[in-house]
Structure 1
Amino acid sequence: MNVFEIPLQLINLQGDGFHLLVEVVVYGQAFNLVLDTGASKSALDKDTITALIDDDSQIYHLPDRHAIGVGTSSMERYAVIVPEFKIGDLIVENYAVPVFDLTTVKFAYETMQLPAVIGVLGGDILKGYHAVIDYQSNILRLFN
Protein backbone atom coordinates (compact mmCIF):
# COMPACT_ATOMS: atom_id res chain seq x y z
CA MET A 1 0.00 0.00 0.00
CA ASN A 2 1.32 3.44 -0.95
CA VAL A 3 1.14 6.31 1.50
CA PHE A 4 0.90 9.85 0.14
CA GLU A 5 1.70 12.69 2.52
CA ILE A 6 0.24 15.99 1.41
CA PRO A 7 0.98 19.25 3.23
CA LEU A 8 -1.98 21.24 4.45
CA GLN A 9 -2.14 24.99 4.92
CA LEU A 10 -3.93 26.13 8.08
CA ILE A 11 -5.93 29.30 7.41
CA ASN A 12 -7.19 31.41 10.31
CA LEU A 13 -10.63 32.79 9.51
CA GLN A 14 -10.00 36.10 11.26
CA GLY A 15 -10.44 34.58 14.71
CA ASP A 16 -13.63 32.72 13.75
CA GLY A 17 -12.20 29.22 13.34
CA PHE A 18 -9.96 27.84 10.67
CA HIS A 19 -9.90 25.96 7.37
CA LEU A 20 -7.35 23.54 6.03
CA LEU A 21 -6.32 24.06 2.42
CA VAL A 22 -4.85 21.38 0.19
CA GLU A 23 -3.16 22.02 -3.12
CA VAL A 24 -4.36 20.01 -6.12
CA VAL A 25 -3.42 20.08 -9.78
CA VAL A 26 -6.16 19.98 -12.41
CA TYR A 27 -5.58 20.50 -16.11
CA GLY A 28 -1.90 21.11 -15.33
CA GLN A 29 -2.52 24.04 -12.96
CA ALA A 30 -2.24 24.19 -9.18
CA PHE A 31 -5.20 25.35 -7.08
CA ASN A 32 -6.28 25.32 -3.43
CA LEU A 33 -9.26 23.37 -2.17
CA VAL A 34 -10.77 23.53 1.30
CA LEU A 35 -10.46 20.15 3.01
CA ASP A 36 -14.09 19.50 3.99
CA THR A 37 -14.79 16.37 6.03
CA GLY A 38 -18.50 17.22 5.97
CA ALA A 39 -18.77 17.32 2.19
CA SER A 40 -19.96 14.04 0.68
CA LYS A 41 -18.12 14.77 -2.56
CA SER A 42 -15.33 16.96 -3.73
CA ALA A 43 -16.46 19.84 -5.94
CA LEU A 44 -14.86 22.45 -8.17
CA ASP A 45 -15.90 25.89 -9.35
CA LYS A 46 -17.67 25.72 -12.71
CA ASP A 47 -16.30 29.02 -14.05
CA THR A 48 -12.72 28.06 -13.21
CA ILE A 49 -13.02 24.66 -14.89
CA THR A 50 -14.78 26.12 -17.95
CA ALA A 51 -11.82 28.49 -18.42
CA LEU A 52 -9.37 25.56 -18.30
CA ILE A 53 -10.97 23.20 -20.81
CA ASP A 54 -11.01 23.41 -24.59
CA ASP A 55 -14.66 22.55 -25.03
CA ASP A 56 -17.26 23.38 -22.41
CA SER A 57 -19.38 20.48 -23.71
CA GLN A 58 -17.06 18.38 -21.50
CA ILE A 59 -19.12 19.71 -18.58
CA TYR A 60 -22.28 17.68 -18.46
CA HIS A 61 -25.56 18.42 -16.71
CA LEU A 62 -27.04 15.99 -14.17
CA PRO A 63 -30.71 17.02 -14.45
CA ASP A 64 -32.11 14.65 -11.81
CA ARG A 65 -29.62 15.58 -9.12
CA HIS A 66 -29.24 18.71 -7.06
CA ALA A 67 -26.57 19.91 -4.66
CA ILE A 68 -27.21 19.44 -0.98
CA GLY A 69 -25.21 21.31 1.63
CA VAL A 70 -23.97 24.31 -0.34
CA GLY A 71 -26.61 26.62 1.07
CA THR A 72 -29.47 25.21 -0.98
CA SER A 73 -30.87 21.93 -2.19
CA SER A 74 -32.02 23.34 -5.52
CA MET A 75 -28.67 24.20 -7.13
CA GLU A 76 -28.28 22.57 -10.54
CA ARG A 77 -25.60 19.92 -10.62
CA TYR A 78 -22.96 19.52 -13.29
CA ALA A 79 -19.87 17.35 -13.56
CA VAL A 80 -16.68 17.06 -15.56
CA ILE A 81 -14.23 14.22 -16.00
CA VAL A 82 -10.78 15.51 -15.09
CA PRO A 83 -8.14 13.40 -16.91
CA GLU A 84 -5.60 13.82 -14.07
CA PHE A 85 -6.52 15.05 -10.62
CA LYS A 86 -3.30 15.30 -8.58
CA ILE A 87 -3.12 15.56 -4.81
CA GLY A 88 0.55 15.58 -3.92
CA ASP A 89 2.00 12.50 -5.64
CA LEU A 90 -1.38 10.75 -5.83
CA ILE A 91 -2.93 10.87 -9.29
CA VAL A 92 -6.61 10.08 -9.72
CA GLU A 93 -7.24 9.39 -13.40
CA ASN A 94 -10.49 10.23 -15.18
CA TYR A 95 -12.00 11.64 -12.02
CA ALA A 96 -15.69 12.58 -12.39
CA VAL A 97 -16.07 15.60 -10.14
CA PRO A 98 -19.12 17.82 -9.56
CA VAL A 99 -18.82 21.46 -10.64
CA PHE A 100 -20.93 24.28 -9.22
CA ASP A 101 -21.08 28.04 -9.21
CA LEU A 102 -18.83 28.71 -6.20
CA THR A 103 -18.54 32.46 -6.80
CA THR A 104 -19.71 33.29 -3.27
CA VAL A 105 -17.10 31.01 -1.68
CA LYS A 106 -14.32 32.45 -3.85
CA PHE A 107 -15.52 35.99 -3.07
CA ALA A 108 -15.59 35.32 0.69
CA TYR A 109 -11.96 34.18 0.63
CA GLU A 110 -10.98 37.17 -1.47
CA THR A 111 -12.81 39.58 0.87
CA MET A 112 -10.96 38.16 3.89
CA GLN A 113 -7.67 38.38 1.95
CA LEU A 114 -7.15 34.62 2.18
CA PRO A 115 -5.55 32.38 -0.43
CA ALA A 116 -7.81 31.75 -3.42
CA VAL A 117 -9.80 28.50 -3.44
CA ILE A 118 -11.74 26.81 -6.25
CA GLY A 119 -13.64 24.15 -4.35
CA VAL A 120 -13.59 21.48 -1.68
CA LEU A 121 -11.88 18.15 -1.19
CA GLY A 122 -14.63 15.96 0.22
CA GLY A 123 -15.64 12.53 1.41
CA ASP A 124 -15.37 10.73 -1.93
CA ILE A 125 -11.59 11.23 -1.94
CA LEU A 126 -11.14 11.22 1.85
CA LYS A 127 -12.99 7.92 2.36
CA GLY A 128 -11.87 6.42 -0.93
CA TYR A 129 -8.21 6.88 -0.05
CA HIS A 130 -8.55 6.19 3.71
CA ALA A 131 -7.55 9.73 4.70
CA VAL A 132 -5.85 10.51 7.97
CA ILE A 133 -5.61 14.18 8.91
CA ASP A 134 -2.66 14.98 11.17
CA TYR A 135 -3.64 18.32 12.65
CA GLN A 136 -0.41 18.65 14.65
CA SER A 137 1.79 18.35 11.57
CA ASN A 138 -0.71 19.78 9.07
CA ILE A 139 -0.37 16.70 6.88
CA LEU A 140 -3.04 14.79 4.97
CA ARG A 141 -2.19 11.12 4.49
CA LEU A 142 -3.91 9.22 1.69
CA PHE A 143 -3.47 5.49 1.09
CA ASN A 144 -3.65 3.61 -2.20
Structure 2
Amino acid sequence: MEIIIPIELCELEAGTYHPLVQARFNDKNVGWWVIDSGASKSVFDKSLDNHYQPDEHPVKQATGLGKDLVETASGEISELWLGQFDFGSLTIALIDLTHINQEYARFSDKQIVGLLGSDFLIRYKAVIDYGQQQLILNLPDEEEFA
Protein backbone atom coordinates (compact mmCIF):
# COMPACT_ATOMS: atom_id res chain seq x y z
CA MET A 1 0.00 0.00 0.00
CA GLU A 2 1.33 3.42 -0.95
CA ILE A 3 1.10 6.29 1.51
CA ILE A 4 1.60 9.92 0.52
CA ILE A 5 2.68 12.39 3.18
CA PRO A 6 3.08 16.12 2.54
CA ILE A 7 6.51 17.62 3.13
CA GLU A 8 7.70 21.16 3.53
CA LEU A 9 10.98 22.45 2.18
CA CYS A 10 12.89 24.61 4.62
CA GLU A 11 15.39 26.96 2.99
CA LEU A 12 18.24 27.43 5.45
CA GLU A 13 20.41 29.46 3.10
CA ALA A 14 19.82 30.69 -0.43
CA GLY A 15 19.36 27.62 -2.61
CA THR A 16 19.83 25.02 0.15
CA TYR A 17 16.75 23.09 1.23
CA HIS A 18 15.93 20.48 3.82
CA PRO A 19 12.77 18.37 3.36
CA LEU A 20 10.69 18.22 6.56
CA VAL A 21 7.76 16.04 7.50
CA GLN A 22 5.39 16.81 10.34
CA ALA A 23 4.95 14.31 13.16
CA ARG A 24 2.31 14.01 15.83
CA PHE A 25 2.79 12.30 19.17
CA ASN A 26 0.44 10.53 21.59
CA ASP A 27 -0.09 13.75 23.54
CA LYS A 28 -0.98 15.55 20.27
CA ASN A 29 2.17 17.68 20.33
CA VAL A 30 3.64 18.31 16.91
CA GLY A 31 7.24 18.35 15.78
CA TRP A 32 9.18 18.11 12.54
CA TRP A 33 11.52 15.41 11.22
CA VAL A 34 14.24 16.27 8.73
CA ILE A 35 14.28 13.65 5.98
CA ASP A 36 17.97 12.73 5.93
CA SER A 37 18.92 9.94 3.52
CA GLY A 38 22.57 10.46 4.51
CA ALA A 39 21.87 9.42 8.10
CA SER A 40 22.33 5.67 8.48
CA LYS A 41 19.93 5.58 11.45
CA SER A 42 16.98 7.67 12.51
CA VAL A 43 17.79 9.93 15.44
CA PHE A 44 15.59 11.68 17.97
CA ASP A 45 16.16 14.59 20.34
CA LYS A 46 17.05 13.10 23.71
CA SER A 47 15.58 16.14 25.50
CA LEU A 48 12.07 15.00 24.50
CA ASP A 49 12.15 12.13 26.99
CA ASN A 50 8.36 12.00 27.42
CA HIS A 51 8.11 10.68 23.82
CA TYR A 52 10.44 7.67 23.95
CA GLN A 53 11.55 4.74 26.07
CA PRO A 54 15.33 4.48 26.50
CA ASP A 55 17.00 1.10 25.95
CA GLU A 56 19.19 -0.54 28.52
CA HIS A 57 22.19 -0.06 26.22
CA PRO A 58 25.04 2.09 27.47
CA VAL A 59 25.79 5.46 25.98
CA LYS A 60 28.04 5.24 22.90
CA GLN A 61 29.93 7.67 20.73
CA ALA A 62 29.23 7.90 17.02
CA THR A 63 30.25 10.18 14.20
CA GLY A 64 27.72 12.96 13.89
CA LEU A 65 27.40 15.82 11.47
CA GLY A 66 30.90 16.53 10.30
CA LYS A 67 33.74 14.59 11.91
CA ASP A 68 32.85 15.29 15.54
CA LEU A 69 31.92 12.44 17.85
CA VAL A 70 28.54 12.78 19.52
CA GLU A 71 27.22 10.96 22.54
CA THR A 72 24.35 8.64 21.65
CA ALA A 73 22.06 6.18 23.34
CA SER A 74 19.23 4.17 21.84
CA GLY A 75 15.54 4.04 22.50
CA GLU A 76 12.15 3.46 20.98
CA ILE A 77 9.23 5.65 20.04
CA SER A 78 6.02 3.67 20.59
CA GLU A 79 4.01 5.45 17.91
CA LEU A 80 5.33 7.40 14.94
CA TRP A 81 2.56 9.43 13.31
CA LEU A 82 3.45 11.03 9.98
CA GLY A 83 0.54 12.72 8.27
CA GLN A 84 -2.53 10.65 9.12
CA PHE A 85 -0.70 7.34 9.41
CA ASP A 86 0.78 5.55 12.43
CA PHE A 87 3.94 3.66 11.45
CA GLY A 88 4.07 1.98 14.84
CA SER A 89 7.22 1.85 16.91
CA LEU A 90 10.58 3.10 15.70
CA THR A 91 13.98 2.29 17.15
CA ILE A 92 16.02 5.47 17.35
CA ALA A 93 19.41 6.83 18.32
CA LEU A 94 19.12 9.54 20.94
CA ILE A 95 21.23 12.66 20.59
CA ASP A 96 21.11 16.28 21.66
CA LEU A 97 19.55 18.28 18.80
CA THR A 98 19.94 21.68 20.46
CA HIS A 99 22.46 22.85 17.86
CA ILE A 100 20.14 21.85 15.00
CA ASN A 101 17.17 23.62 16.56
CA GLN A 102 19.27 26.74 17.13
CA GLU A 103 20.19 26.77 13.44
CA TYR A 104 16.59 26.19 12.30
CA ALA A 105 15.36 28.94 14.65
CA ARG A 106 17.27 31.45 12.51
CA PHE A 107 15.15 30.58 9.44
CA SER A 108 11.97 28.91 10.71
CA ASP A 109 9.65 28.43 13.68
CA LYS A 110 9.70 24.64 13.35
CA GLN A 111 10.93 22.45 16.22
CA ILE A 112 13.07 19.63 14.85
CA VAL A 113 12.46 16.45 16.85
CA GLY A 114 14.61 14.12 14.79
CA LEU A 115 16.14 12.97 11.56
CA LEU A 116 14.40 10.24 9.55
CA GLY A 117 17.35 8.19 8.40
CA SER A 118 17.94 5.60 5.74
CA ASP A 119 16.84 2.78 8.10
CA PHE A 120 13.27 4.15 7.90
CA LEU A 121 13.50 5.35 4.28
CA ILE A 122 14.75 2.00 2.95
CA ARG A 123 12.22 -0.01 4.96
CA TYR A 124 9.37 1.93 3.34
CA LYS A 125 11.00 2.30 -0.10
CA ALA A 126 10.72 6.06 0.23
CA VAL A 127 10.58 8.45 -2.70
CA ILE A 128 10.81 12.19 -2.16
CA ASP A 129 8.85 14.05 -4.83
CA TYR A 130 10.18 17.60 -4.58
CA GLY A 131 7.89 18.89 -7.34
CA GLN A 132 4.73 17.76 -5.56
CA GLN A 133 6.30 18.29 -2.12
CA GLN A 134 5.44 14.83 -0.86
CA LEU A 135 7.06 11.79 0.67
CA ILE A 136 5.82 8.57 -0.90
CA LEU A 137 6.15 5.48 1.28
CA ASN A 138 5.25 1.87 0.55
CA LEU A 139 4.10 -0.31 3.40
CA PRO A 140 5.89 -3.66 3.48
CA ASP A 141 3.88 -6.84 3.09
CA GLU A 142 2.79 -8.38 6.40
CA GLU A 143 5.49 -11.09 6.06
CA GLU A 144 8.20 -8.43 5.91
CA PHE A 145 7.22 -7.09 9.35
CA ALA A 146 7.92 -10.43 11.06
TM-score of the superposition, structure 1-length normalised? 0.83
% identical aligned pairs: 30
Deviates more, 1:76-85 or 1:130-139: 76-85
1:59-89 Cα offsets, whole Å, 9 max, x none, are 2364374322334453222122211111224
Structure 2: distance between partners of 1:63 and 1:71: 23
Given that 1:31 and 1:118 are in contact with CA atoms closer than 8 Å, whether structure 2 keeps it comes out as yes
Alpha-carbon distance between aligned partners in 2 of 1:30 and 1:64, rounded to the nearest angstrom: 27
Equivalent residue of 2:91, what SS?
A: strand
> Which one of 120, 123, 128 corresponds to residue 125 of structure 1?
120
**In the alignment, what sits opposite 2:142?**
none
- Equivalent-residue separation in structure 1 for 2:69 and 2:58 (angstroms): 11
Q: Which moved more, 1:22-31 or 1:119-128?
A: 22-31
Moved over 4 A (4+): none
1:42-71: CA deviations, max 9, x gaps?
111111x21x25xx8x32364374322334
- Structure richer in strand, relative to its length: 1
TM-score, with structure 2 as normaliser: 0.82
The answer as to 2:2 corresponding to 1:33 is: no
